[in-house]
Each structure stands twice: as C-alpha cells, then as structure tokens.
C-alpha cells in the first residue's frame, strides 16, 4: 500500500469535570487526509485545503507529529501529507488533534502498523505541544481510539478507553470567534482550593462510573465543572444562556468543549440532542454572531480509512 485516505474526527476534551484527562470522539465532523509513502525520506505537507495553515513541516502539527513518529523508527521511507480541513483551528473541537492523530495513524498504516493506536498517542501529542504549548492527550486519544477516553497520566502516556452508553448523543455549538488554546489556558489559576478539588474528582469518578453502568442520571449529576468553567466561561459570549437553554431543553449536562469557544451538551437520545440544538440556536440567532451546530452520536471507532 502506497497511499491512504482517512477521516480524522473532531473531539470534545475536558467534558466539564475532566480537565486535561477526559475526552470523547464525534461522528459527523472531521478532516480528511491523504498520506502517501515516498522514496524520498522526510515529511512534506504538500496540500492544505479549507483553511489557511502552514505548509511547513515544523509549523504544522501534522508534520511535527509525523516527524516524532518517524524519529522512533528505522525507516528509509518518507511521507507526503494532504490535509482537507473541515474542523476550524481554534474552535475547541480538536482541530489540531485531528491533524496530529491523522498523520501518525496514516503513516503507521502505510508502514504495516508497527504501533497500536494507543501507542500512537505519544507521537500525536507532539503536535499538541506545537498547537498549545502543552502535551495533552485528551483530544488525540479519543481521535485515535474513539469513544470516551481517560488520560490517567500525560507524562508516561497511560490512556484508558472507557465505554460509551449507546443512547448518548452530543450537541455542539461553535460560535465563529477564535479562542486560542494558549489564551484560554492563560486565564487559569495555578492553584485550586482543596474543597473544589474534592468536588471535581468526586464528579469525575462518578461520571466514569456512569459511563460503565449506562446510568444517565449519574452522568447528568456528574457533568459539573467547579474549577475551569468559572474561569473560562467569561471568554465565551452568552455561555450561561447557551448552557441554560441546553439544560432546559433536556440535556444531561453542558459545558465548554476543550478550551472553547465551542460548547457541548450531552443528551439521552438523538431526539433530545436535536431539541438541545434548536434551543441553543435560538439563543444565538438574534445575536450578531455566526455559528455552526452539530448533533453527533459518540463515535466509537475513531480515525478510519475511507479509501
């Protein structure tokens, strides 16, 4: 095999109580990439369509992640990467992660799979360092593994795949304003009070339990963020109105997707997820802000080959 085309999905990281450790994979939104094996060594990004992003290997997350992977292997092959960008950079639904994860997944396939999907996370994270200054796996892990994923440790890269209850649907609203991950990180305090930490890890543990037991009530009670959301939500226009509308329309929970500005909601059943979309759109329609919305089941497959 010399060339493959793949779908690299968008992802929601943090999921309220799981800052930097929890994420899940979306279905309808994602980039397409073509990865080609060449005899000329090295990595070249030969085409980017859909967005103005750097072609330079060192400045594009796909290039950085691909080089990290190749540096770990003794191969004389090189690779060309074409990126057909659908996920807007800085949207908070894992645009950089899709490219990083897609690049390492595609190269790994063309080399006969020297690594498992889980092992590829460490290389894809190098792309995240370029995008945000921090090597976090909470977007690249669900992009590669699908479903919900928990990052037990970012340093030694220990990622656990979690179950996804079958009736769980996500609604995403993306206000088209750019909020850079690096900027959204800069508003966060370095220290947190113990009582807040206790609440947060109680909710995170309960959410994981809810995912294992299909307990939608418990999932709903656990989708609470007492640490990051209060700091970041002022950066997102009409955040509390959007979240309130989602909950009133029947969502189990709602919060900032990744570092924003996108907002996610989780609902039981597609019908409720669509009602939540309508309710969120109603908040934004009279405002002068352009936006996209999506309804998605949880994508349990992750990145996939499409040709």
**So which residues are the catalytic ones?**
128, 181
Q: Does 257 bind ligand ADP (CB under 6 A)?
A: no
**Backbone torsions φ then ψ of 83, nearest 5 degrees:** -120, 125
- Residue span binding ligand ADP (CB under 6 A) among the ranges 95-103, 117-125, 166-174, 232-240: 95-103
- Residue span binding ligand ADP (CB under 6 A) among the ranges 54-62, 108-116, 161-169, 215-223: 54-62
Least CB distance to ligand ADP at residue 59 (A):
6
Q: Does 53 bind ligand ADP (CB under 6 A)?
A: yes
3-state SS class at 219: helix
What does the angle CA 58 – CA 12 – CA 87 come to, to the nearest 5 degrees?
50
SS3 content of the chain, % helix, strand, coil (to 5): 35, 25, 35
Q: Does 99 bind ligand ADP (CB under 6 A)?
A: yes
Q: How far is CA 304 from CA 9, 79, 145, 278, 287, in A?
A: 9, 19, 10, 30, 37
Q: How far apart are CA 266 and CA 54, in angstroms?
A: 34
CA nearest to 258, candidates 141, 105, 152: 141
Q: How far apart are CA 248 and CA 286, in angstroms?
A: 19
Selected from 14, 16, 60, 267, the binder of ligand ADP by CB under 6 A is 60
- Residue span binding ligand ADP (CB under 6 A) among the ranges 59-67, 107-115, 168-176, 206-214: 59-67
Binding mask 186-225 for ligand ADP (x = CB under 6 A): ----------------------------------------
Closer by beta carbon to ligand ADP, 235 or else 247: 235
Specify the length of the chain in residues.
307
Selected from 14, 16, 96, 171, the binder of ligand ADP by CB under 6 A is 96
Checking phi first, is residue 238 left (phi over 0); if not, alpha (psi -120 to 50) or beta? Answer: left
Selected from 132, 200, 220, 222, the binder of ligand ADP by CB under 6 A is 132
Q: How many residues bind ligand ADP (CB under 6 A)?
A: 20
Question: In this structure, what token pair is assigned to residue 301?
Answer: 């497959």
Q: What order of strands is seen across the sheet that includes strand 168-175?
A: 253-256, 263-268, 168-175, 291-297
Selected from 154, 164, 181, 222, the binder of ligand ADP by CB under 6 A is 181
Q: Does 83 bind ligand ADP (CB under 6 A)?
A: yes
- Element containing residue 9 per DSSP (H, E): strand 3-13
Closer by beta carbon to ligand ADP, 184 or else 206: 184
Least CB distance to ligand ADP at residue 210 (A):
25
3-state SS class at 35: strand
What does DSSP say about strands 168-175 and 291-297: parallel, antiparallel, or unpaired?
Answer: antiparallel
Q: What part of residues 219-248 is at the interface with ligand ADP (CB under 6 A)? A: none
Least CB distance to ligand ADP at residue 113 (A):
23
Q: Give the interface with ligand ADP as residue ranges (CB under 6 A).
A: 53, 60-62, 83, 89-97, 99, 131-132, 180-181, 258
């Amino acid at each position: 095999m010399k060339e493959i085309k793949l779908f690299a999905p968008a992802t929601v990281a943090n999921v309220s109580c799981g800052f930097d450790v929890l994420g899940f994979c979306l279905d309808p939104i994602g980039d397409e990439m073509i990865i080609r094996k060449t005899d000329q060594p090295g990595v070249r990004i030969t085409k980017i369509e859909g967005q103005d992003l750097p072609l330079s290997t060192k400045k594009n997350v796909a290039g950085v992640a691909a080089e990290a992977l190749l540096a770990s292997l003794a191969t004389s092959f090189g690779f060309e990467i074409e990126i057909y960008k659908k996920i807007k950079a800085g949207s908070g639904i894992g645009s950089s992660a899709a490219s990083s994860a897609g690049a390492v997944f595609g190269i790994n396939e063309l080399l006969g799979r020297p690594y498992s999907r889980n092992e590829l996370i460490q290389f894809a994270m190098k792309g995240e360092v370029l995008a945000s200054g921090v090597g976090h796996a909470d977007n690249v892990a669900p992009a590669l593994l699908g479903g919900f994923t928990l990052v037990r440790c970012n340093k030694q890269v220990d990622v656990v795949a979690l179950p996804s209850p079958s009736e769980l649907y996500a609604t995403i609203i993306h206000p088209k304003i750019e909020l850079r991950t690096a900027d959204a990180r800069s508003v966060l305090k370095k220290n947190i009070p113990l009582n807040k930490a206790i609440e947060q890890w109680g909710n995170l543990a309960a959410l994981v339990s809810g995912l294992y037991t299909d307990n939608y009530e418990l999932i709903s009670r656990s989708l609470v963020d007492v640490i990051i959301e209060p700091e970041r939500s002022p950066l997102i226009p009409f955040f509390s109105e959007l979240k309130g509308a989602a909950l009133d329309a029947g969502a189990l929970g709602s919060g900032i997707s990744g570092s924003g500005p996108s907002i996610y909601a989780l609902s039981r059943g597609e019908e409720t997820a669509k009602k939540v979309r309508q309710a969120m759109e109603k908040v934004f329609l009279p405002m002068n802000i352009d936006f996209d919305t999506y309804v998605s089941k949880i994508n349990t497959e992750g990145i996939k080959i499409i040709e």
